[in-house]
Amino acid sequence: MNKTSRVFLITSAVLFGILIIALFRLQVIKGKHYQRVAESNFVRIRRLTATRGEIYDQKYRPIVQNIPSHNLFLLSGKIQDLPALARFLSLNFEITEQEVTDMVLGQRFRTYEEILVVDNVPFEKMLSVSEHLNYYPELVFRIGSTRDYLYPNHYTGYVGRINEEEYERYRAEDYSINSYIGKTGLERYYEVLIRGQDGREIVQVDAQGRSLGLFQKGGYIEPLNGLSLVLTIDNELQDFANRIFPAGIKGTVVVSDVRSGGILAYISKPDYDPNLFMQRITPEIWEELNSEDKPLMDRVIHATYPPGSVFKPVTAGLGLQKGVITQHTRLKSCIGGMQVGTRFFRCWDHSGHGTSNVVEALMRSCDVFFYDLSMKLRLDDFHAYTLASHLGTKTGIDLPNEREGFFPDTAWYRKTFGRNVGIMGHKVNLSIGQGEVLTTPLQMNAYFAAIANGGTWIQPHLLKQTVGRARLTRQQVERVQKKQLPFSQADLRIIQEGLFAVCNSPYGTARSVQVPKAQTFGKTGSAENFMGKRTHAWFCGYIVTDKPEIAVTVFMENAGGGAAMAAPVARQIFDFYMGNIEDIKRPAVLPPQFRSAEDLDPDALQPSGQDDEPEPGLKQENREEIHPH
Q: How far is the CB of 200 from other proteins (least distance, A)?
A: 5
Separation of alpha carbons 62 and 591, rounded Å: 12
Helices then strands, counting H and E runs in the chain, come out as 22, 20
Q: How far is the CB of 30 from other proteins (least distance, A)?
A: 6
Torsion over CA of 547, 548, 549 and 552, rounded to 10 degrees? 160
Residue from 68, 80, 414, 597 touching other proteins (CB under 8 A): that is 80
- Position 85 contacts other proteins (CB under 8 A): yes
Q: How far is the CB of 99 from other proteins (least distance, A)?
A: 15
Look at the chain and count its residues: 629
What lies within 8 Å, CB to CB, of 29 at 6+ separation is none
- Position 174 contacts other proteins (CB under 8 A): no
Q: Are strands 55-56 and 228-231 parallel, antiparallel or unpaired?
A: parallel
Separation of alpha carbons 494 and 538, rounded Å: 22
CB atoms within 10 A of CB 148: 16
Q: How far is the CB of 76 from other proteins (least distance, A)?
A: 6
Residue from 218, 354, 532, 617 touching other proteins (CB under 8 A): that is 218
Q: What is the DSSP letter of 104?
A: H
Q: How far is the CB of 611 from other proteins (least distance, A)?
A: 20
CB atoms within 10 A of CB 321: 17
- Position 221 contacts other proteins (CB under 8 A): yes
Give the binding range for other proteins (CB under 8 A) out of 26-34, 119-127, 549-557, 577-585: 26-34
Q: How far is the CB of 15 from other proteins (least distance, A)?
A: 5
Nearer to other proteins, 2 or 342 (CB): 2
CB atoms within 10 A of CB 472: 16
Residue from 67, 102, 110, 168 touching other proteins (CB under 8 A): that is 110
Q: How far is the CB of 109 from other proteins (least distance, A)?
A: 6
- Position 210 contacts other proteins (CB under 8 A): no
Q: Which of 134, 568, 86, 494 is CA-nearest to residue 315?
A: 494
DSSP 280-335: PPPHHHHHHHTSTT-TTS-TTTS--B--GGGGHHHHHHHHHHHTS--TT---SPBS
Evaluate whether 255 touches 237 at the Cβ level (below 8 Å): yes
What lies within 8 Å, CB to CB, of 41 at 6+ separation is 77, 78, 112
Q: How far is the CB of 450 from other proteins (least distance, A)?
A: 44
- Position 106 contacts other proteins (CB under 8 A): no
Nearer to other proteins, 43 or 387 (CB): 43
- Position 41 contacts other proteins (CB under 8 A): yes
Nearer to other proteins, 7 or 67 (CB): 7
540 - beta bridge partners?
523, 553
Separation of alpha carbons 446 and 460, rounded Å: 6
Separation of alpha carbons 7 and 1, rounded Å: 10
Nearer to other proteins, 73 or 407 (CB): 73
Give the binding range for other proteins (CB under 8 A) out of 23-31, 463-471, 542-550, 578-586: 23-31
- Position 376 contacts other proteins (CB under 8 A): no
Residue 554: in which H helix or E strand, if any?
strand 548-556
Total binding residues toward other proteins, as defined by CB under 8 A: 60
Residue from 111, 128, 211, 291 touching other proteins (CB under 8 A): that is 111
- Position 67 contacts other proteins (CB under 8 A): no
Residue from 67, 127, 214, 470 touching other proteins (CB under 8 A): that is 214
- Position 23 contacts other proteins (CB under 8 A): yes
Residue from 16, 135, 286, 344 touching other proteins (CB under 8 A): that is 16
Q: How far is the CB of 582 from other proteins (least distance, A)?
A: 54
- Position 5 contacts other proteins (CB under 8 A): yes
Give the binding range for other proteins (CB under 8 A) out of 24-32, 121-129, 328-336, 578-586: 24-32
281 burial type by CB count under 10 A (0-12 exposed, 13-18 middle, 19+ buried): middle
Nearer to other proteins, 220 or 272 (CB): 220
- Position 620 contacts other proteins (CB under 8 A): no
Q: How far is the CB of 11 from other proteins (least distance, A)?
A: 8
Name residue 368's amino acid. Answer: V
Residue from 134, 208, 216, 489 touching other proteins (CB under 8 A): that is 216
Q: How far is the CB of 68 from other proteins (least distance, A)?
A: 27
Evaluate whether 35 touches 106 at the Cβ level (below 8 Å): no
Nearer to other proteins, 139 or 492 (CB): 139
Rg (CA), the chain: 33
CA 176 to chain centroid: 23
Give the binding range for other proteins (CB under 8 A) out of 71-79, 377-385, 528-536, 596-604: 71-79
Residue from 243, 350, 623, 629 touching other proteins (CB under 8 A): that is 629
In three state form, how does the secondary structure of 17-29 look? HHHHHHHHHHHHH
Residue 388: in which H helix or E strand, if any?
helix 379-388
Separation of alpha carbons 93 and 155, rounded Å: 31
- Position 628 contacts other proteins (CB under 8 A): yes
Give me the residues that bind other proteins (CB under 8 A), please: 2, 4-5, 7-9, 12-13, 15-16, 18-20, 22-24, 26-28, 30-35, 37-39, 41, 43-45, 76-77, 79-83, 85, 104-105, 108-112, 200, 202, 204, 214-219, 221, 626, 628-629
